[in-house]
Structure 1
Amino acid sequence: MRLISRPVSEETFSRLAAGGGGAGAMAELRAMQCFKNRLLIRELVLEARTAGHPHADLSARAYDLMVEMETHGRGRVESELCYPAVGAWALRTYLSLKAGTGVKDDPGRLAALVVAVAVRSQTACQVRLALSDDAIVLPGLGRLSAPAGARGVFDVTVRPDGEGAELDIGRSTVRVDPLRDDTGWQVLRRLPVGSGFSLVVDDADPYRWPAGHVTEPRLSDAKLDHWARCLREAWRVLTARHWTVAEEMTCGVSVLTPIHAPAFGQNSATSRETFGTVALSEPQHGLGMAATFAHEIQHAKLTALTGMVDLTRPENGRRHYAPWRNDPRPVNGLLQGAYAYLGVAGFWRRQHRFEQGARAFRGQVEFTRWREAAHRVTGTLLACGGLNDRGEEFVKAMRGTLERWLDEPVDLAVAAQARREADQHLRAWTRRNSRI
């Protein structure tokens, strides 16, 4: 579903198609996501009224208050509107209201966003808030425990105190501090990265990730320290050798969401619903985390772009081989994978030169295998008839980058190992999918 159709600039399209983009391209994509969230919130408030939702008045009052607050401090409202979980809540709520599928996705949660804006901007206000669970999350800030016996709709008074704010909820008062926990309050922790850039570890918001069953609960302090160490090392790798990825991370990623680890290796993902979030299982080391970011930022860019520009034709049911998957993939999935592994190949193309011994060899293998795999898949995409004109233009630019990389020499032993791994994957894939 596309609620908006607005062209991306040709310069940004071309830079993205070549596999990069940088700060300018990411800023353009991020601005469009914020615009989409703004539109969704306005539409869900109207739809709540049309659908006769019991919290329609709450959402309308919260919206009016947010508009009033924006008049006095646009930047703060804008940044809160861009928070990934806000976009996920707005989309799901709008769709559920349109479909008439119950009240699980509550438009009244807009009041929690207003409280978050008020705390961040140090704005005194009063808003009506619905409390139906044991706690409510203020997006981007933290988890507020409901006072004993508090259920239903309450007037919440926000009284800023210079750092955070005191919230009067009924007869109870809870202090909300953006930096630390307090009684009845758990803050979302931030991990400093460098040069004023930090990432929120969102392990609380119910809308932080589409698949709620894979998310981890609140990280212990010891685990959080491990994440922080890995993140600092990852950032040193990116800023020293992968400047475009670092720029794109700074402009386009604001949240890390912990998810369950697999039996072996690591999980990571991005989602169309939560632009600005990278979900990943516990990192093993900084270099691996840096490679994960190089992979996931590609997914984030392409997902945002395809929300603005169609690159593929309607699906025809055909499925294709992807050298990084065990299952056959439709055209959209194949394109996403090729673009991500273009980023992976680019990361190892540069990184292996700074490694030694076995790690240098492994880095060359990663570069060699994934440049060839992504190049192969661009050929599949161009031949399968699943791309429209803009999609063909995009994939041809991807292929041009990969062809230049294919001309770069690697050791014979590296090439042989990359070929063995690729052939092994293809044989296993063929056995697994022989009946398809």
Structure 2
Amino acid sequence: MRLAVVGGGSTYTPELIDGFARLRDVLPVDELVLVDPAADRLELVGGLARRILARQGHPGRIVLTGDLDAGVEGADAVLLQLRVGGQDARREDETWPLECGCVGQETTGAGGLAKALRTVPVVLDIAERVRRRSPHAWIVDFTNPVGIVTRALLTAGHRAVGLCNVAIGFQRRFAALLDADPAGVSLDHVGLNHLTWERGVRLGGTDVLPKLIAEHGDTLADALRLPRTLLERLGVVPSYYLRYYYRHDEAVREQREGTSRAAEVAGIERRLLEMYADPALDRKPELLSRRGGAYYSEAAVALTASLLGRHGTGTGTGIVAGGGPGGGEDVQVVNVLNHGTLPFLPDDAVIEVPAAVGPHGARPLPVRPLEPLYAGLVAQVTAYEQLALEAALKGGRDRVFEALLCHPLVGQIDRAEQLTDSLLAHNRHHLAWA
């Protein structure tokens, strides 16, 4: 089995390698290709990757290359973890929206749109090259904004599934609070990427979400930085990204007064690369846990294994228990085409829900009707994502303005005009049409 990781020079890659090593029975990888144009970073990350595999006795081979075409040649699956513009672009995405009184965040609001505009053309070019070199390969997209990027890939007819770590993070957190095996915990997870709610948590066939909120409401609320009373009134656990909607002005104030997440991550990355250069280091360092993307490796292994036909492994690495040997499918929370699952959205919208995953791809499972309190916001953000994708594919100042005007975190003419000018000024060298 040959897998390729595009963006393999990321400081986060050792987490992924650790997952491949630990879960070798789930996904037996013979050759793992790390693809990245940054040769110096790739050598540091690749060296640690080899040492991690050797320490855990994994027989797989690590290949390092800056040649994308060679890297994806013959791959069974290609994992995308890109950041077009690097941490410098992220720092700008988190900064200039604040000048307009809007949240500065790399996956939602104006900053999220900037990231989408930079990222979609690059990802589509990569996907076309994958299609030419390995037409049967699956593309697993972890590149943000996952919903928009996955919609671009699927609209273009690629064999792709979007993946986010929010659901598996909740599953593991809930399991720890319940002192339960994560494999036995399943979620009623619904919404869009970075706009989701946990409406149920099932353990042994029983919905234990009311118990979790009653007994651990303070812990959950503190992690989300939302009031416990909100969880109790709604009876759900929102994604922590909902804080940008439910407490937007407070988030803006804190961002203006504090250090940006981009600056924090940049500092972590510098220290990690220094650690990776140590030839004695042969495991992922504890500092990596502060980098973000918790449990991505487990989710990525489970999803890739299901797409490549290794279903029903019984390892508990998926977000919902597998379908079992011979079942042909596992159930995992992924980003997938709507196809009527949420009837108020277009069929070609990309939603984040439990889906049956197998060699055919991902098929969303039925969900109970979404309550108006959530459906209204989901519908508006879906409309924004459609406009954002059109702007990414076709360019043009007017399309950027319309996407911003549609976004519920912007929604005012003057703000949308100013944000459009700022977005274009900060991203001209990334946008061929600007």
TM-score, length basis structure 1 = 0.23
Which of structures 1 and 2 has the larger relative contact order (alpha carbons within 8 angstroms, sep 6+)? 2
Question: Quick check: which one's helix share is greater?
Answer: 1
> Which structure's CA Rg is the greater one?
1
TM-score, length basis structure 2 = 0.23
